[in-house]
Chain A
């Protein structure tokens, strides 16, 4: 695969399971460079599982995940470490290291993987924190930040080594609508200014309309991709009941007391 093509990530025939329980069955799709790509689906449809396979946290039963021209499933040793440094991940809880200040969190990878002088690391850390609007909170501990600030700090940390791709797991989970909208705006800005490719797992409808260039929807029953396209496409032109219910926020049959 050509590393300089317009494709940032290719997922090929991915099959994944937790023990006996199969979660994903033959999932394939591509993520284009520079786009905001959103993975949606109901609870238990395997969105987070898919994300964890894409970032190499879990090994799939079958299939491949190519990131920037390298197969993360097969990559070992140094090649794998190099590949891991080319993308950033923002976890649902933020996963900031509680024993370090926000700035130390952001500087961690710079300290470990670069030979920069201290003042350069400070300059970079400040720039990242400034971009996410947290320059004032640089020397605070993560436990002193609100949920939204923690997510922003986690984004700043993920940006430390200038990744080409950012993966975000449920960025708006637990945030109020205003904070959530602020985070969406930040994602759009990062995508615009820095050309970063985003892969985002979410089920926040408003967020999907605000940020997504392209969406795929996973389904718990078929354990695979049931729809792919722009949010407007999926909302207006779908023939699939699950997709229609998702975008219209309708309860599934049997989920309400009336239906029973």
Chain B
């Protein structure tokens, strides 16, 4: 079928309506995927209202470019516009006729029947619950294995690949320093500004120092740092390991006798546990700095601010903040690795894993923080 003909002839259908529901359609012009839409609609409009018992389609004056135009002939032949009518198609050359017969009306029926029906509400709920339970089981199993591996790493520190830990610390920690410190500095500023006006009504602006100091050391420092790291580094752990899984690198590690969890995840979690408290110290400092600058602009001198903070914020508060940050660091790095390992097949899988890593990490970090706050309140 040589159909590379660029002639622009108008594509049209001429209808001859005879007696007893006999209709003849004469098709003319170039028929391809671009000209077919208009002709299709015109035929539908003209044929639908008629009561047709027998339809003759005369196609000898049609000029096909490619086989796309045959879709219309097939639809006519299947009685798409004239249900129940006997349809004959004439005027196609032998090659076109062969191509036409490649697809039969039954093919179309089975093709439609295969379409997936959407799940019912009950099925959706069932699928979700099952996947939630499966995920929970995997998380617990991963937590167990990771704890065992970390304990082993503490007993035999030489087994840890320290060069990899250092690389991750630099990529996930040191490189995050500017953005993390800028954000905590700005949050310190915001808290001080927001607190300044209501406290001024009671002449109590000096307590901004308590607010900023306490907030930065116990809550904002650890939490802000952990959430920033979850978004920045946890997602990148998931994407890195996920891409390795898609590229069969994890399979290669396994068959080389190397446990992917020990080889990849333990170093990342160790790095997460080490770097989060370090970054947290920094964010505590920059948060306090931001708040103090606002106070100085309100007329308080540095010794006054310092004394107020020192009277309220004790060493054990800093200890609690750092303790939390260790837990948060473990959470975001372990979740990042777990989501990486859970990556499925296909090109969108890595993106899905990165998103799940961030969502789960932030949820677990805030959940853990709530537990800390509750336990702290009860013990106090």
Please give the number of chain A residues whose Cβ is less than 8 angstroms from any Cβ of chain B in the complex: 37
Q: Are A162 and B346 in contact (CB under 8 A)?
A: no
The closest CB in chain A to the CB of B34 belongs to A114
Chain A proximity of B95: nearest CB distance (Å):
7
> Which residue of chain B has its CB nearest to the CB of A33?
B4
* Given A193-B98, A194-B1, A162:B66 Cβ within 8 A: yes
- Considering the complex, which residues of chain B in the window 89-127 have a beta carbon less than 8 Å from any beta carbon of chain A? 95, 98-99, 102-103, 107-108, 110-112, 114-116
Binds B, one of A126-134, A167-175, A203-211, A248-256: A126-134
Residues of B within 8 A of A98 (CB): 346-348
Q: How far is the CA of A141 from the CA of B36 in the complex (A)?
A: 29
| Contact yes or no, A130 B1, CB < 8 A | no
- Cβ < 8 Å to B, chain A residues 1-48: 3-4, 33-34
Which residues between 106 and 141 of chain A lie within 8 Å of chain B, taking CB atoms? 110, 113-117, 119-120, 122-124, 126-127, 130-131, 135-136, 138-139, 141
* Closest beta carbon of chain B to A138's beta carbon, Å: 6
**Given A114-B34, A126-B108, A143-B346, residue A119 in contact with residue B1 (CB < 8 A):** no
Shortest distance from the beta carbon of A14 to any chain B beta carbon, whole Å: 24
Contact A162 B40, beta carbon cutoff 8 Å: no
Q: Find out whether the CB atom of A130 lies under 8 angstroms from the CB atom of B102.
A: yes
CB distance from A7 to the nearest CB of B (A): 12
> By the criterion CB–CB under 8 Å, are B107 and A126 in contact?
yes
Q: Which residue of A33, A113, A141, A194 is within 8 Å of B66 (Cβ)?
A: A194
- Tell whether, in the assembled complex, residue A124 and residue B114 are in contact, meaning their CB atoms are under 8 Å apart: no
Task: State whether B32 touches A162 (Cβ < 8 A).
Answer: yes
- Closest partner residue, chain A, to B5 (CB atom): A4
Whether a CB of chain B sits under 8 angstroms from the CB of A195 is yes
The stretch among B72-80, B169-177, B327-335 that forms the contact with chain A is B72-80
Q: Which of A113, A124, A131, A142: most chain B Cβ within 10 A?
A: A124
In the complex, what residues of A have CB within 8 A of residue B110's CB?
135
Instruction: Report B-chain residues with C-beta under 8 Å of the C-beta of A161.
Output: 33, 66, 68
Residues of A within 8 A of B6 (CB): 3-4
List residues of B whose CB falls within 8 A of some A CB: 1-4, 6, 32-34, 36-38, 40-41, 44, 65-68, 70-72, 74-75, 80, 95, 98-99, 102-103, 107-108, 110-112, 114-116, 345-348
Contacts of A162 in B (CB 8 A): 3, 32-33, 65-68
Question: Nearest residue in A to B69 (C-beta to C-beta)?
Answer: A162
Assess whether A239 is interfacial by the CB under 8 Å rule: no
Could you name 15 residue pairs across A and B whose Cβ atoms are closer than 8 Å?
Answer: A4-B6, A114-B34, A119-B80, A123-B108, A124-B33, A124-B68, A127-B74, A130-B102, A131-B102, A135-B107, A135-B110, A139-B116, A162-B66, A193-B67, A195-B2
- A34–B33 alpha-carbon span in the complex (Å): 21
Within 8 Å by CB of A142, from B68, B116, B346, lies B346
Contact (Cβ within 8 A) A124 B71: yes
CB distance from B67 to the nearest CB of A (A): 6
Residue on A nearest B104 in the bound complex, by CB: A130
Most buried by B among A68, A110, A126: A126
Among the interface residues B32, B33, B34, which one has the most CB atoms of the partner chain A within 10 A?
Answer: B33
Q: Which residues of A contact B72 (CB under 8 A)?
A: 120
Residues of A with C-beta under 8 A to B74: 123, 127
Does A73 sit at the interface, judged by CB under 8 A?
A: no
B4 and A135 within 8 A (CB): no
Residues A117 and B37 in contact, CB atoms below 8 Å apart: yes
Q: Which of A3, A110, A141, A164 contacts B33 (CB 8 A)?
A: A110
A240 within 8 A of B: no
B199 to nearest A CB, angstroms?
53
Q: Does A99 belong to the interface (CB within 8 Å)?
A: yes
